[in-house]
Amino acid sequence: MSKDEKLSTKIKWSIILLSFAGQLAWAVENQYFNLFLYNEIAPVPMYVSLLVAITAVVSTVTAIFMGALSDVKGKRRIFMLIGYSLWAFTTAVFPLAGLFRPVILAVTIAILFDSIMTFFGAMANDAALNAYVTDVTNTQNRGKITSLMEIMFLIATLIIYGFAGFIIEAVGYYMFFYIVGALVALIGIPGALFAPEPEDLRPSTLSYWETIKSTFNRTAITNNKNIFLILLGSALWGIAFNVFFPFVLIYLEHFLLIPIFLASILIFVALLISIIAAYPVGKLVDKFGRKKIAIGAVFLESVSLFLFAFSELIVFIAITAAIWVFAMVTWDIASKTWVRDLLPEDKRGQFSGYFILFNVLIGMTIGPLIGGVISETYGIPIIIEGIAGFIPPPIVFVVAAFLMLLVLIPIIKAKEFEK
């Protein structure tokens, strides 16, 4: 297939279905796995931090090595098909960790189950799908397609936040995870089956380990300097963002005393606003450039997080949340499009993994640990079903707001296109 400015309907629908199914799973994993661990196993923020950090390592290693394998084989679809099938199953299995006791065993099983789920998700989505999108797009349509994927992320997250609270209250956590697993399978598997292999994709002339080693050297970094500057910016963004994000629903429910269904609705509204704005942002990224939009997103995220920390009335919580969610979406569209423009053609799968290395591994290990330490140092003591813990305080958002400004250092230095 040629990479015309207009992609075929079949490719677009494949990307839509795969993005939507994957983001359903990730939305649940990113928030409701944390909430399940906190509410059903132990209200200890550091356990949440460990869950996020360990699975971030799994996600990164998987994305790099499975992405490299897809490059070497010259295949994307088989990795998406197998990945989405088992991703759905392992999402449904996760809550069984809550049946184990003592608490430390339940926490260990939860981390193990989440890690297995993350392996298949990273293989299917972070490695194969991200490389696939780069394979079938070009600089004229990449921003719009990236914004389309971001819309799928927002719609999936919107559905999870909008209905998860009601479903959990009605049928409990276990049935909720079973339902999500089924949806991921019903949407993701057809998407993988529909996706045609990119016409220009060929097996690598290097062996698997030669492909891996060829990227871990000074020449590779020097030749791709702008990619690594953007990735460094993504790492700093991920650190700042994950100082607070794993604890958002916990903070709303336990610090601000907002019922879980209402807390979910607040995020629902913020996501709805961002959905409306996402596609126009993609057009702006294509028209005015990746760098300008990315810099604007950093400032907007920082200011909105600072204001969110001091918001107590529902209306101000909703407004500031909507702004930081919109800024997050804008950053994602601009930075991901920027990186895809610069990826080496023969290593797109592997380099998609490096985006996860910086944005997920670094961001989701350092960030949650900072948030966990802050929560346990300055948080309010709480006891849930006889188990002691802490409620995350507003200062996690203030710290995140200031850390966010560090993103500007590498981003300002990075160029949009290689000379």
Q: In this structure, are residues 189 and 85 in contact, taking their beta carbons and an 8 Å threshold? A: yes
For position 419, what pLDDT does the model report?
39
- Ranking 40-54, 92-106, 260-274 by mean pLDDT, the lowest is 260-274
**Highest-confidence segment of 129-143, 204-218, 290-304, 328-342:** 290-304
Whether the Cβ atoms of residue 394 and residue 309 lie closer than 8 Å to each other = yes
Q: Is the pLDDT of residue 1 over 60?
A: no
Report the pLDDT averaged over residues 61-86.
89
Model pLDDT, residue 409: 95
pLDDT, position 301: 96
Distant-in-sequence, close-in-space partners of 333: CB < 8 Å, separation ≥ 6: 143, 146, 147, 150, 278, 281, 282, 285, 293
- With cut-offs at 50, 70 and 90, classify the pLDDT of residue 411: very high
pTM tops 0.75, yes or no: no
The pLDDT of residue 22 is above 60: yes
Domains of the chain: 9-197+207-413 (1.20.1250.20)
Cα–Cα distance measured from residue 284 to residue 272, given in angstroms and rounded to the nearest whole number: 19
Query: Encoding tokens for residue 314?
Result: 């529902």
Residue 211 C-alpha from the chain's centroid = 26
Question: Average of pLDDT values for 367-371?
Answer: 89
Residue 150 — pLDDT band, cuts 50, 70, 90? confident
Determine phi and psi for 389, rounding to 5 degrees: -165, -160
Cα separation of 132 and 125, whole Å?
10
Grouping H, G, I as helix, E, B as strand and the rest as coil, residue 140 is coil
pLDDT value at 138 more than 80: no
Instruction: Please report which confidence band the pLDDT of residue 216 belongs to, taking 50, 70 and 90 as the band edges.
Output: low
Token pair 């030669």: residue: 210
> Looking at the predicted structure, is the pLDDT value of residue 391 above 70?
yes
Gap between the Cα atoms of 238 and 363, Å rounded: 4
Query: What is Dmax (Cα atoms) for the chain?
Result: 62
Highest mean pLDDT among 241-245, 350-354, 386-390: 241-245
Question: Token pair of 146, please?
Answer: 């990236």
Report the first-to-last Cα separation within the chain, whole angstroms.
Answer: 27
- pLDDT band, very low/low/confident/very high, at 345 (cuts 50, 70, 90): low
> Do 299 and 265 meet the contact criterion of CB atoms below 8 Å apart?
no
- The percentage of the chain sitting over the pLDDT mark of 70, rounded to a whole number, equals 93
Cα 415 to Cα 88, 151, 292, 301, 408: the distances in Å are 39, 26, 11, 22, 13
Cβ atoms of 154 and 24 closer than 8 Å: no
Share of the chain above pLDDT 90, in %: 35
